Structure 1
Amino acid sequence: MPRKAEIRVAPTATDALLDDLARLDGLFELRLQRGVVVVPRADLVTVVLQNRALQDLMRILDRHRLGEEGGVSVVTSEPDSVVETGDPARVDRDSNEGSWEEMEAIISKDSNAGPNTLLLIVAAGVLTAVGIAMNEIHIAIGGMLVAPAFMPIMRISLGLVAGSAVWRRGVVDTLKLYLVLAASAAACALAMRGAGLDPLDAGAGYYAVAKPFFQYWTTTNWSGVSTSAAAALAGALLIVTKRSTFTSGVMIGLALVPSASLVGMELVAGNPEASARAALRWLTDVALVLAVSAAVFAWERRRLHRRDMRM
């Protein structure tokens, strides 16, 4: 899908930028509005181009000091539709990869550990704990789907590969979110015990597969590792192609949320060995997400981006 980029540039640097942009392959439109930016005083250059030319555009902007004091800034977006003269394949056969900055913006939107996100992870921990305790797997899956627990791990590998310090924020947010998740599941387990229920042995529900699921979330073996690796690969590719709405499906393939919940629940139940097994499974999935996504980002960097993140 074609892209639109609005570039803010100092008036003294506008002509040099226009010369570089005019040579872009895949350019649909290049527009200049002098002096229209009020704060700070600047010219506005608007570019509509093929998505496959987006990385060339970003490298040009890097040369014009993108994100630096006195340099250029940019806002990218996707038009709802583009009807161009000439070859229609330039539009309908275009690529779909985003820039480093767009990937980071997606991750930031879905995973910054602010108050609302932390409350959401508390809800996910309670749902997962209740689903496990009551042997109702669909409730546990609901907790996995609503948990914003995949993106912060992805931010670590993206920052490391793309040459940005955002990986540090990924580490902080990952630890913060999963500590809250485990604590909320543990608190839910304590509440169940206070009500006279055993949070890890609620009897047979209508899912006869409860025990195998419990074992899957607390066991590290080839089937679990291969499933998590495939889910991590899918998640990284969804970020690369800006399809973040599908990453909820990735969480079902990963054991991140239930294993972290079981760490807290097993401690409440007085089973430190089982808690350690769940922690090992969680660490395994985190390592797989980091390794597989880093490999995908490294491949994208070598194949397409060939630049550092400037956000």
Structure 2
Amino acid sequence: MPKSIQFVVSTERTDDFIERLRQRREVIGLSLHRDASVKPPGDVVVIQCANDDTGRLIHFATESGAVRGGSFGTSTLESLAASQPQENLDRETNEAIWEEMDTLIRNEANLTPNYLAFMGLSGAVAAVGLWSNLLHVVIAGMVLAPGFFPLVRSMLGVIAGPRGLVSRGLLATLAGYGLLGLAAALTAWLLVWLDPAATTNLETRPWVRYWSSISASGLLLSALAAMAGGLVVTTLRRDLEAGVMIALALVPSMGIAGMALALGDLSLAGSAFLRWVVDVAEVLIFSGIVLLVKQLLFHRRKTLVATSAAAPETSRRAMDVFP
């Protein structure tokens, strides 16, 4: 969808910046609001453009030195009609810029109480499904977990930077899945107390055996899901993440590991944990390949983001970039 980009420009450079923007074919609409910005002080320039031109215009503006403090923001337009034919609008794709991907991932994967709560509840729900051999309940637990984005965040840091994303992504992954396993373990103890007649031998349950073993078909499925997840991030299709988490074995394998530890089955716990490690490796490798291809074919630059805050519900993305 078309985008609107807002820059704060140093007053003494505004006229030259506007004139240079007039000459760029990517600019469909151009507005100037003099002295409209209080922090940082300066003129506000608003550009309307096709989605695919967003990155080029941001790069041009920041490299020009006119943008004060490196501040800019983007928002998605529901519609944009040009007075003359615009091929770049007709042919635009849904490729997101690095800064928008970073905002989406941060909203989903920051190590917050809400993130941890979702991961813990995911483990508990999945444990009930595994214990009762109810596939739809296990799937519900998979969908609840925002467990894909922290891993992709690490690969975004590797491919586009900044490098701090790597450690933050890995920390959120370890904390989130550690809590998921703990919740599954506690749920297993509760289920033993509530349902004493049920066998505590988890390996009698077919879905436990499936998600605690490694097979060629399982490896292929995880690789395909990881690549699909990379596309989810690069196109900002947050609504499709559920399908990725259902295809991956991240939630059930860690849930089984926690349950098996709680019930004293160390062999099963080790097998399930190994399956989880393999899935993590596949997500890192194959989502990273998708990001690398996008870097080589479309972006060809590092991310400009240092810190940001965003409200996806309003499609608003505000970013502070390195000056």
What TM-score do you get using the length of structure 1 for normalisation?
A: 0.91
Q: 2:228 aligns with which of 227, 234, 238?
A: 234
What is the aligned partner in structure 1 of residue 291 from structure 2?
Answer: 297
Per the TM alignment, residue 216 of structure 1 is displaced from its structure 2 partner at its CA by 2.2
Mapped to 2, the partners of 1:167 and 1:24 lie a distance apart of 36
Change (3 A) 1:37 1:106: same
Match of 2:116, as an amino acid? L
Moved over 6 A (4+): none
Q: 1:134 aligns with which of 99, 108, 132?
A: 132
> What number of residue pairs does the alignment pair up?
303
Q: 2:303 aligns with which of 299, 304, 309?
A: 309
Q: 1:264 aligns with which of 258, 265, 271?
A: 258
Matching of residue 74 in structure 1 with residue 72 in structure 2: yes
Structure 1 residue ranges without an equivalent (≥5): 205-209
What is the aligned partner in structure 1 of residue 279 from structure 2?
Answer: 285
Change (3 A) 1:121 1:65: farther
Change (3 A) 1:297 1:19: farther
What is the aligned partner in structure 1 of residue 109 from structure 2?
Answer: 111
Per the TM alignment, residue 116 of structure 1 is displaced from its structure 2 partner at its CA by 1.4
What TM-score do you get using the length of structure 2 for normalisation?
A: 0.88
Q: 1:220 aligns with which of 186, 197, 214?
A: 214
What is the aligned partner in structure 1 of residue 319 from structure 2?
Answer: none
Farther-moved stretch of structure 1 (150-159 vs 86-95)? 86-95
Give secondary structure in 2 for the equivalent of 1:5: strand
Per the TM alignment, residue 24 of structure 1 is displaced from its structure 2 partner at its CA by 2.8
- Quote the sequence identity (%): 33
The CA deviation string for residues 229-262 of structure 1, in whole angstroms up to 9 with x for no partner, is 0000111011111111111111010000001111
The CA deviation string for residues 185-220 of structure 1, in whole angstroms up to 9 with x for no partner, is 11111112233435755899xxxxx50x32221111
Mapped to 2, the partners of 1:66 and 1:157 lie a distance apart of 31
What is the aligned partner in structure 1 of residue 39 from structure 2?
Answer: 39
What is the aligned partner in structure 2 of residue 84 from structure 1?
Answer: 82
Cα RMSD, aligned residues only: 2.1
What is the aligned partner in structure 1 of residue 309 from structure 2?
Answer: none
Please tell me whether the aligned partners of residues 66 and 73 of structure 1 are also in contact (alpha carbons under 8 angstroms): no
Mapped to 1, the partners of 2:51 and 2:61 lie a distance apart of 16
Superposition pairs for residues 120-131 of structure 1, below 5 Å?
Answer: 120-131=118-129
Superposition pairs for residues 38-57 of structure 1, below 5 Å?
Answer: 38-57=38-57
The CA deviation string for residues 243-288 of structure 1, in whole angstroms up to 9 with x for no partner, is 1111111101000000111111010111111111111111111111
Give secondary structure in 1 for the equivalent of 2:30: strand
Match of 1:23, as an amino acid? Q
Farther-moved stretch of structure 1 (159-168 vs 231-240)? 159-168
Mapped to 1, the partners of 2:87 and 2:210 lie a distance apart of 47
Per the TM alignment, residue 11 of structure 1 is displaced from its structure 2 partner at its CA by 1.7
Q: More strand by proportion, 1 or 2?
A: 2
What is the aligned partner in structure 2 of residue 97 from structure 1?
Answer: 95
Mapped to 1, the partners of 2:139 and 2:280 lie a distance apart of 19
The CA deviation string for residues 111-148 of structure 1, in whole angstroms up to 9 with x for no partner, is 21211121111111111000000111111100100111
Matching of residue 12 in structure 1 with residue 12 in structure 2: yes
The CA deviation string for residues 32-81 of structure 1, in whole angstroms up to 9 with x for no partner, is 111011223121110001112112112213414699xx532111111111
Give secondary structure in 2 for the equivalent of 1:72: strand
Give secondary structure in 2 for the equivalent of 1:33: strand
What is the aligned partner in structure 2 of residue 182 from structure 1?
Answer: 181
Please tell me whether the aligned partners of residues 36 and 44 of structure 2 are also in contact (alpha carbons under 8 angstroms): yes
Mapped to 2, the partners of 1:111 and 1:91 lie a distance apart of 32
Mapped to 1, the partners of 2:203 and 2:260 lie a distance apart of 17
Give secondary structure in 1 for the equivalent of 2:302: coil
Match of 2:216, as an amino acid? W
Please tell me whether the aligned partners of residues 132 and 200 of structure 1 are also in contact (alpha carbons under 8 angstroms): no
What is the aligned partner in structure 2 of residue 207 from structure 1?
Answer: none
